A and B are shown apart, each in its own frame.
Chain A
Amino acid sequence: MNRADLHAPVEGAQNEVLVRLEGIGKVFPGVVANDDISLEVRRGQVHCLLGENGAGKSTLISILAGMQQPDSGHIEINGARVAISSPRVAMDHGIGVVYQHTTLIPTLTVLENLMLGDTGRLPLDRKGAMKRLKEVSAKLGADINPNALAGDLGLGQQQQVEIAKAMWQGSKVLILDEPTSMLTPQAIAELEESVNRLKAEGLAVIFITHKLREAYAIGDCVTVLRGGRMAAYISPEELSQYDEEAAKKRILEAMFGDDIDNVSADQAEELAGATRAGQDHDADAAASRPVVLELRGVSSHAGRMEIGIEDVSIAVHAGEVLGIAGIDGHGQSALAETIAGQRSAQKGAVLFEGREVTKLGVRARQRLGLRYVTDDRLHEGIVGDLSVAVNLVLKRIGQAPFWKRGQINRSAVQAEAAERIAEYEIRTPGADTRAGTLSGGNIQKILLARELSHDPKVVVFHKPTYGLDLKTVHRVREAVRRFAAEGGAALLISTDLDELVELSDRIAVISKGRIVGEVANDSSGTSERVGELMTGSTREPSLA
């Protein structure tokens, strides 16, 4: 793509300001989420919002969407001051939001999903809706089948429908909240294309991301948030002067300020979203080591609305990280839970160090050294109402030395807690603090501390860095790497391709509950090959 073309001065009255945020502030108990943030969103521009997790991007967006009210400051739309007191008001002002997670109802058709936002008229206006869909999909440059069930669509397509839904009421401002975080490289390219078309149509787009590469490729101007404050605004004029490297450097400086020296090259690369070549793992060496975890033709079905796994065979050697890539919700949970023993396998066998453990429960497997770091850390991994100390021994209830003759041994629990809190630098006021009051990153540290202590042999990491701040992300990845380096067998399930490429020795791709292929992570282009496997299997039509 030629940058000069994309960023050519737009014609006519396209530069008018549609939305202006003025001194927006929002405080949550103990956290200043937004502090005096001002920005302008203009017609025909893509305004990129960058920042680490926790920098205040989501809060700002929920204020614009009418989900939260600012504590201070105000919002102007077309020059008039407005109170966006509910999502309905936001929609009436032409603000459409595409959230990071799908809000489509999987059992309804695409058209029905789109019509959900219609108000008033009791008889549903299908014909009108079809016409509207045609207009919108023409604008997007996407081919959307109105009668497909939303749940049957691939993620890229779902996102196109989400965008169509956000534009359904005639949006003038489109907000995309980390739209690329779960897409394949191919789908990202298609998304970029759609965004550029919308821009040309005169829409204003707010594009939220934490990847520098995307900010540069898609954005006309960039606002960087740090710790709830505006760290920088890079105007279109300024941005067009930079080449990619200079822009990245400028943004990184804004994101980290004086901390820039503390940010390692690795972290910067992670942020940049660069797809790095595979690490120089010695694949042969890993293959020669013993298999610690093996699944042989395992099938496990699950209840309603959930994909199980079908005939899955994988093997993880000691000292290696096997990555599992795939679009979210394609059986990853079933895979992880079947290995952990939370879900029983209907067919096949789970082998641990060559011994069949298919019939063993969670506790027995845990004792053998088979551990599971769950993705639902808040509602499954911990019990929020219980103390940090108890959560650290939650999988060892009733076991010595924490329980003696069925009775809790508080001093042993406290000693264990003190040790783990120090080792994993869990930031908590005390071991007796309710675990639910800690931040997401610290809760993840509790899970890691619990699963990685007391002789782990196989650990399943399920989306271990999802939604964490950059420092914790780094720490978690370090923990995965160290675990494997020390001879552990790690299974890393993730929807973040960059993360998989960074950590894995091999990457298997799961789709609709089946393993559809495996890629050795030994040369460049791994993520493209994984992306091909992912899209190939979901038969996502090329929209380009």
Chain B
Amino acid sequence: MTTNMQLAPSTGAPQPAPSTDAVPQPKQRGRGRAAVDVLVRTITPVVLALLAGALVLLMLGKDPLQFYGDIVYYGLAGNGWQNSMIAMAPLLLIALGLIIAFRGKLWNLGYNGQYLLGAAIVAGFGPDILVSFPLAIGIPLLAIMAIVVGAAWTIIPALLKAKYGTNEIITTLMMSFIGVSVTNILVKGPFQDASVAVPQTRELPFDGMLPYIPGTKVHIGFIIAILMVLAFHFILKRTSFGLRLDVFGASTKSAKHVGIDARRMTIVIFVLSGAMIALAAAIDIMGLWGYLRTNWNPAYGDKILPFVFLARLNPLASIPLVAFYAVLATGGTIAAQASNLSVDFLLVIVALILMFMTIIEYIGMKRDLGQSYLPQGLRQSLRLGSVGRKKQ
């Protein structure tokens, strides 16, 4: 998947003197044109997925307009918008964690394990810590503990990648499976609530949960998430670290050439990525759920993945896309029940987005390169064939 539009840093106002004798260039597009192009390429897959989803709904005998209308209604109207914002909080941070890793071309797919371990730490130690410390200390302390564990869980893949170049897709996935299992062991074992028979942790004290944003029922985790996204947007776009990360992501060869310590960079990226994902877990448990059961896995990362790419790994651009998914998920869950559909239908839409995005990107790339969509040999044979026929 390509991120090249994104990686080219949009440089500010002062324009250099244009060279007088420009060589023939492959299509140079104006900035406005390029921005429109990116927007089109971002929105088209979503629209196409919704249309294809509508066809499926029709085949199932449901009214697509009714269903989509319900999604918007339940996702935004009434308390819907507040629920959507609550859903956005962890999603934004996980998207950010993925963006950091993916910009460095490190495919951290261990988000489920990183998330759940962070969640287990908060749910396990939260009830004691929030009671024994003032909230102003207890909440940050729990968040830091989660971050440390989430980051630590990426260390083995990071070291293996840095030292031996081991494929991180495999190692992070493996570590994720282990992480999910360890979480279950922790919840059934040391963190088990002794007062109930079902395998789950004790609940956090209600007044120990994250406070609401005044005037709403949305916890401040939403604001934390937005601030983190903005902070990392600045870091990635404007600082030397951000540029180094992009150079590293573009080519490890170039990174070495310009003196970037590739091993250190690999570890830093993994740690930051795992930290953001675990922070998502911390605010999700402290803001929304309050406890953890075994075999519970919201798998946020799987669902947010297409939107991370649709945002072209741009933190700022991920906000509206995450908002879109949050509305889809919040409103969609209720809408699916209302029209007697499986909730998994929402995943069908997400998958369709991913599929159409790949197609649109492919076509877009081909167009950028000025090539035909047909494989060259086939095109030639077709043309020669038609020439031959005319002659006969």
CB pair A380–B254 under 8 Å, yes or no, is: yes
- B22's partner among A376, A417, A429, A432 (CB-CB below 8 A) is A429
- Interface pair A428/B9, CB less than 8 Å apart: no
Asked if A414 is at the interface of the complex by the 8 Å CB criterion, the answer is yes
Q: Contact check, A386 vs B238: say whether CB atoms are below 8 A apart.
A: no
Is B21's CB under 8 angstroms from A376's CB?
A: no
CB-CB under 8 A from A123, the residues of chain B are none
- List residues of chain B with CB within 8 A of the CB of A382: 254
B1 contacts A by Cβ under 8 Å: no
Q: Does residue A215 face the partner (Cβ distance < 8 Å to B)?
A: no
A433 cross-chain contacts in B, Cβ below 8 A:
25, 28
B163 within 8 A of partner (CB): no
Mark each residue of chain B from 14 to 54: 1 if its CB lies under 8 Å from any CB of chain A, else 0.
11111101111111100000000000000000000000000
**Complex contacts, A437 vs chain B, CB 8 Å:** 25-26, 28
Q: Is B379 an interface residue (CB 8 A)?
A: yes
Chain A residue nearest to B381 (CB atoms) is: A85
- CB of B370 closer than 8 Å to a CB of A: yes
Stretch at the interface among A168-176, A316-324, A403-411: A403-411
- Chain B residues, CB < 8 A from A68: 376
Closest to B241 in A: A406
Chain A residue with the shortest CB-CB distance to B244: A397
Q: Which of the segments A93-101, A102-110, A242-250, A387-395 contacts the partner chain? A: A387-395
Count of chain B residues with a beta carbon within 8 Å of a chain A beta carbon: 48
Query: How many angstroms from the CA of A31 to the CA of B254 in the assembled complex?
Result: 28
* Pick from A29, A376, A394: contact of B27, CB under 8 Å: A29
Pair B8/A341 contact, Cβ less than 8 Å? no
Known contacts A69-B380, A381-B254, A383-B254; decide if A366 and B24 are in contact (CB<8 Å).
no
Residue from the list A70, A387, A418 in contact with B9, Cβ < 8 A: A387
Q: Which of B197-205, B257-265, B343-351 contacts A (4 or more CB under 8 A)?
A: B257-265
Q: Is the CB of A386 within 8 A of B247?
A: yes
| Minimum C-beta distance from A439 to chain B (A) | 6
Of all chain B residues, the one with the shortest Cβ separation from A86 is B377
Q: Which of chain A's residues have a CB closer than 8 A to the CB of B12?
A: 410-411, 414
Residue of A nearest to B11 (CB): A432
Q: Does B173 contact A (CB under 8 A)?
A: no
B227 to chain A, nearest CB (A): 18
Inter-chain CA distance A408–B241, complex, in Å, is 10
Residue of B nearest to A410 (CB): B12
A387, A395, A418, A421: the one contacting B11 at CB < 8 Å is: A387
Contact present for B16 and A418 (CB under 8 Å): yes
Q: List residues 237-290 of chain B with CB under 8 A from any CB of chain A.
A: 238-241, 243-244, 246-247, 250-251, 253-254, 256-261
B4 interface residue, CB < 8 Å from A?
yes
B367 to chain A, nearest CB (A): 11
Please give me the residue from chain B that is nearest to A382 by CB atom: B254
Residues in A with CB closer than 8 Å to B379 are 69
CB nearest to B256 among chain A residues: A342
Give the nearest-CB partner of A68 in chain B.
Answer: B376
The answer to the question of A385 belonging to the interface, with a C-beta cut-off of 8 Å to chain B, is yes
Within A172-216, the residues touching B (CB, 8 Å) are: none
Is the C-beta of A121 less than 8 angstroms from some C-beta in chain B? no
A83 interface contact, C-beta 8 A: yes
Query: Which residues from B are CB-within-8-Å of A438?
Result: 23
Bound CA–CA A442/B378 (angstroms): 34
User: Are B22's CB and A341's CB within 8 A?
Assistant: no
| Chain A residue with the shortest CB-CB distance to B13 | A410
What is the CB-to-nearest-CB distance from B311 to chain A, in angstroms, rounded to a whole number?
A: 17
Could you tell me the distance between the alpha carbons of A363 and B13 in the complex, rounded to whole angstroms?
29
Whether B334 sits at the interface, judged by CB under 8 Å, is no
How far is B246's CA from A410's CA once the two chains are assembled, in angstroms? Answer: 17
Interface pair B250/A29, CB less than 8 Å apart: no
Contact residue among A70, A380, A408, A417 (Cβ-Cβ distance under 8 Å from B243):
A408
| Segment 346-390 of B: residues with Cβ below 8 Å from A | 369-370, 376-381, 384
Asked if residues A430 and B25 are in contact (CB atoms below 8 Å), the reply is no
A341-B259, A414-B16, A429-B22 given; A403·B240 CB < 8 A: yes
CA distance A413 to B238 in the complex (A): 13
Bound together, the chains give a CA A398 to CA B260 distance in angstroms of 11
* Residue in B17, B19, B24, B258 with the greatest tally of chain A CB atoms within 10 Å: B258
Interface membership of B7, Cβ < 8 A: yes
Cα distance A361–B256 in the bound complex, in angstroms: 10
B26 engages A385 (CB within 8 Å)? no
B238 touches A408 (CB 8 A): yes
Q: Is A454 an interface residue (CB 8 A)?
A: no
- Other-chain residue from B247, B256, B370 in contact with A394 (beta carbon distance below 8 A): B247
Which one of B28, B238, B377, B378 lies within 8 Å of A407 (CB-CB)? B238
User: A83, A384, A442: which contacts B384 (Cβ < 8 A)?
Assistant: A83
Cβ of A374 under 8 Å from chain B = yes
Please give, as numbers and ranges, the residues of chain B lying within 8 Å of A427 by CB-CB distance. Answer: 19, 21-23
Query: Of A30, A403, A442, which one neighbours B26 at CB under 8 angstroms?
Result: A30
Tell me, rounded to whole Å, the shortest Cβ–Cβ distance linking B25 to chain A: 6
CB contact between A429 and one of B28, B241, B261, B380 (< 8 Å): that residue? B28
Nearest CB of A to B365, in Å? 13
Inside 8 A of B251's CB, which chain A residues have their CB? Answer: 379-380, 383
State in angstroms the CA–CA spacing of A390 and B259 once bound together.
Answer: 15
A431 to B15, CA, bound (A): 8
| Shortest Cβ distance from residue A165 to the other chain B in the assembled complex, whole angstroms | 23
Complex contact A408–B239 (CB within 8 A): yes
Contacts of A422 in B (CB 8 A): 17
Chain A residues contacting B4 (CB-CB under 8 Å) are: 385, 434
- Asked if B17 and A418 make an inter-chain contact with CB atoms under 8 angstroms apart, the answer reads yes
Contact: A361 with B8, CB < 8 Å?
no
Contacts of A384 in B (CB 8 A): 250
Residues of A within 8 A of B (CB): 29-31, 68-70, 83, 85-86, 340-342, 361-363, 366, 372, 374, 376, 379-387, 389-390, 394-395, 397-398, 403, 406-408, 410-411, 413-415, 417-418, 421-422, 426-434, 437-439, 442
**Leading 8 A-B pairs by shortest Cβ distance:** A362-B259, A30-B24, A398-B240, A363-B259, A69-B380, A29-B370, A85-B377, A418-B16
Beyond the given pairs A386-B250, A407-B239, A410-B11, 14 more chain A to chain B contacts, judged by CB atoms under 8 angstroms and listed by A's residue number, are A29-B26, A30-B24, A31-B24, A85-B380, A342-B256, A342-B257, A372-B257, A380-B253, A383-B246, A397-B258, A406-B240, A413-B11, A427-B19, A428-B22
- Could you pull out 10 A-B pairs where Cβ atoms are within 8 angstroms? A69-B376, A362-B259, A379-B251, A383-B251, A394-B258, A397-B247, A410-B13, A413-B11, A427-B21, A427-B22
Residues of chain B at the chain A interface (Cβ within 8 Å): 4, 7-9, 11-19, 21-28, 238-241, 243-244, 246-247, 250-251, 253-254, 256-261, 369-370, 376-381, 384
